[in-house]
Amino acid sequence: MDYATKANLRDLEKVGHTLLRKRVTRMNTDTGEVEPVEGGVLNNEALTEFAKQLVAERELRNKIYNAAISVKKI
């Protein structure tokens, strides 16, 4: 069933924005409780840092790939 109404999508967007403004938490697998992560960064800050790491990794992989391609051409 699809409930992708404009109202539901607006509500989903509000939930997403609210979550981005909250502190990063993790589930403690021993206790099953949600606990704050040390350092107290916000979810949007953590996602931004993760995106930067992914971009850096992709750039490195492309650099290695392009170097390997240029060696094969010689």
Question: How does DSSP classify residue 42?
Answer: B
Residue 74 has pLDDT above 80, yes or no: no
Whole-prediction pTM:
0.71
pLDDT at 71: 79
- The domain in which residue 22 lies consists of 6-73
Number of domains the chain contains = 1
Q: Which band of pLDDT confidence, cut at 50, 70 and 90, is reported for residue 2? A: confident
In a domain, 1, yes or no: no
Strands annotated E in the chain: 25-27, 34-36
* Token code pair at residue 43: 């979810």
In a domain, 51, yes or no: yes
Q: Give per-residue pLDDT as tens, 17-44.
A: 999 999 999 999 999 999 999 888 999 9
d(CA 37, CA 58): 27
On average, the pLDDT of the chain sits at 93
pLDDT at 70: 84
